[in-house]
Amino acid sequence: MKRRQFAISALSPLALAACGGGGNDNPLALVPAPAPAPAAPAPAPAVVPATDATAKATASAALKRAASYMDEVVSYRGGYVWSYSPDLTQTFGEMEAKRTMLWLQPPGTSSIGHIYLDAYHATGDERFYQAADRTAKAVAAAQHVSGGWNYIYDFAGEASLQHWYETVGMNGWRLEEFQHYYGNATFDDATTAVASQLMLRMYLEKKDPVYQAATDKAIKFITDAQFGPQFGIADGGWPQRFPHNPNAVSSMPLPNPQQLPAGARAGMEDSDYTLHVTFNDDVMGENIKFLTLCVMALGRTELVANITRAMDCMQRMQWTSTVQPLQSGWSLQHLSRDTLGRLAGAPAGARSYEPRSLATHTTQTNIQQLFGYFTLTGDRKYLSQLQKAIDWLKSASIQLPANVATLNPLLAGRNVATFIELDTNEPLYIHRYGSNVHNGAYFFDKDIANTISHYSSGRSVDAAALQKRLDELNAMTPAQIDAMVAKSPLKATTARALPRYFGVNREVDFPDLFEGAVMKTPVVPESEVQAIVAALVDGNYWTAPVPEIVNPYRGNGPAAAYTGTAYRSRHVGDVYDTSPYPADVPPDIAPYVKREKPQFIITSNFIARMGRLIAFISPVA
């Protein structure tokens, strides 16, 4: 998957009816489990000009009411999805969810736990720790026996979760990772990484043995999943999922193949992609960061060996062509072993809209990661091959045409193609035909027009900024490097405190972990705080327009060929497709109509507003 600009999936009752099914006909739009009514919160105070102390008191009270409402009313046993209708009859993660589910992908349950803990650090109020503890206990309950986490967990049990995969999941045309239930854990979308960070932070807070056990299991999961020396070039890398499920799919159906254009390629080109070394969504960077947190906070110095092997794997996996034109970079995934006659280490295809290729956005991310690994270690080998990759990102043949907005409005504002064919150095563009997962398929060719909308065929890459940073690092003197490395978290000889906040401003990154580093909070004006407090509905919760809505599950879609074009460049297919889509950009075909985005309780919005209040109440300057 991609590390999404996390779109929130939700659908109001009005939208459900407009898509051909009333809310009461949806078997998964469950009414929340009965729960004792919480004590009525105090009315929201009037927002008036105030002294700093009074303003902070007002913000603190609002922070507490909002957190209490989310904890006591919105959550299910402390777990969260991504969005809720205000009456809680509809709940959504990346797709429609049962009320008994929790979502681990950010901005789900783990992310809410982090902001509760941040609020506790800001205020010292035990109510926030109680909320963090309840949420973290839900995350601990969702931990797979292997020690990692799946995208989702269902408190109703395995049968209920499998039912979801067999109905809603398998009919999400563009969400292939949810079309099959593997019963294991994933590194994708920072699912395991963010949950692991929460377990570590909660253990450090009060040394609760529940979180010590969960943290130890998470560490063991990450080290167990790491490819060993027997894998040669793949030593130190991680697969997308672990433990491996031998029933993982190795190909995708190709219904109605007569609709595939001449010369197009389709399907999973390199078999079971859950076994490949994964760079997609910065899997390697996230795992290294968590292990680094454990080194500095727990004194687990033995993990430096695992970290070093991973950093070396990324550096070693940089693929450089042996023929002209120059190509040097990374794919979303690389083969961990010889596969289908191709050698381990070769760029690999993954999902059916992720062709075997070099990926420009992944290459940019990995270059930035290797800059970080140099600062952590002072080892110039991590910089030694990067000029080739930057030169490749500058190469003319991978740039999008100057008139790209005319050729394909979906690629406007992007400067390079996403996927570049091996050896030819020519862009590959992603398309699809059909109307749902049962009659349609993805394919790729060199036609820039009519690409899919949910996974862009173009990217914004700043090669000049990469070049500037590489030049700066290469210019460092030995004395400067020694001084830098002395403060590295990998050199910690005694326990160091983690950053105070993990969800207030941005995610914690390597520069925040160096000795003496300060992760500053943004300056939040009092006028903004007044607006945030005033926006609380009934003084208790915030709502916001959801970016995406969904069709309710109504069974499998038709397998008969659909030859129209209404769905080729939209997020969703026909009414049987359970994928989320923007309410204001539906397919241009009945029964779809444009509509206002419904107002929902949205976890990402809750986290953002909580973060602004926290930064106002207790800033880090």
Q: Express each pLDDT in 67-105 by its tens digit.
A: 999 999 999 999 999 999 999 999 999 999 999 999 999
Question: 579 CB contacts (<8 Å, ≥6 apart)?
Answer: 95, 172, 173, 174, 175, 454, 550, 571, 572, 573
Residue 63 structural domain: 1-194+523-566+594-621
Query: Residue 445 falls within a domain, yes or no?
Result: no
- C-alpha–C-alpha distance, residues 419 and 430, integer Å: 9
pLDDT tens-place string over residues 498-515: 999 999 989 999 999 999
- C-alpha–C-alpha distance, residues 328 and 311, integer Å: 18
SS3 368: helix
SS3 99: coil
pTM of the model: 0.92
- C-alpha–C-alpha distance, residues 591 and 100, integer Å: 30
| 492, two tokens | 């910690």
Q: How many domains does the chain have?
A: 1
pLDDT (0 to 100) of residue 33? 31
Query: Residue 389 falls within a domain, yes or no?
Result: no
Residue 341, burial from CB neighbour count under 10 angstroms (0-12, 13-18, 19+): exposed
Question: 125 CB contacts (<8 Å, ≥6 apart)?
Answer: 60, 64, 119
pLDDT tens-place string over residues 309-352: 999 999 999 999 988 888 999 999 999 999 999 999 999 999 99
* Amino acid at residue number 618: S
Query: Residue 20 falls within a domain, yes or no?
Result: yes
Query: Residue 537 falls within a domain, yes or no?
Result: yes
For 24-28, 251-255, 271-275, 297-301, which range has the lowest pLDDT when averaged over its residues?
24-28
Query: Residue 555 falls within a domain, yes or no?
Result: yes
- Residue 545: pLDDT over 60: yes
Query: Residue 55 falls within a domain, yes or no?
Result: yes
Q: What percent of the chain stands above pLDDT 70?
A: 92
pLDDT (0 to 100) of residue 547? 85
Query: Residue 282 falls within a domain, yes or no?
Result: no
Give strand pairing partners of 277.
334
pLDDT tens-place string over residues 131-187: 999 999 999 999 999 999 999 999 999 999 999 999 999 999 999 999 999 999 999
| Residue 9 pLDDT grade (very low, low, confident, very high; cuts 50, 70, 90) | very low
* Amino acid at residue number 153: Y
| Residue 15 pLDDT grade (very low, low, confident, very high; cuts 50, 70, 90) | very low
Query: Residue 201 falls within a domain, yes or no?
Result: no
